Amino acid sequence: MAEKKLVGKITHYFSRIGVAVVELSDRISVGDRIVIEGATTALEQVVDSMEIENQKVETASAGEAVGLKVVGKVRSQDRVFRLE
């Protein structure tokens, strides 16, 4: 079974375009399998693309805020985990 490692939390969700802003506490890369959990949220997906300041990036590090396309509705303060 895959282990979950906390990599950040959602700070904003743009419902019209399905993008979440994630404040990272650890690195994340395109291709990583992530889980987003909250009081009413439970999503699992692969990171297909992410952006920092409207520039596509392959990897982002702790302390950065990334825009992440998500497959469902998420909420501010939901936690983001990387499956390892």
The model's pLDDT over 4-52, given as tens digits with 9 standing for 90+, comes to 999 999 999 999 999 999 999 999 999 999 999 999 999 999 999 999 9
Quick one: average pLDDT of 61-84?
97
**Residue 4 structure tokens:** 């979950």
Res. 1: pLDDT tops 80: no
Quick one: average pLDDT of 49-69?
97
Q: What is the pLDDT of residue 31?
A: 98
Q: Say which CATH superfamily domain 4-83 falls into.
A: Translation factors (2.40.30.10)
This prediction has a pTM of 0.94
Q: What angle do CA 45, 56, 10 make, to 5 degrees?
A: 50
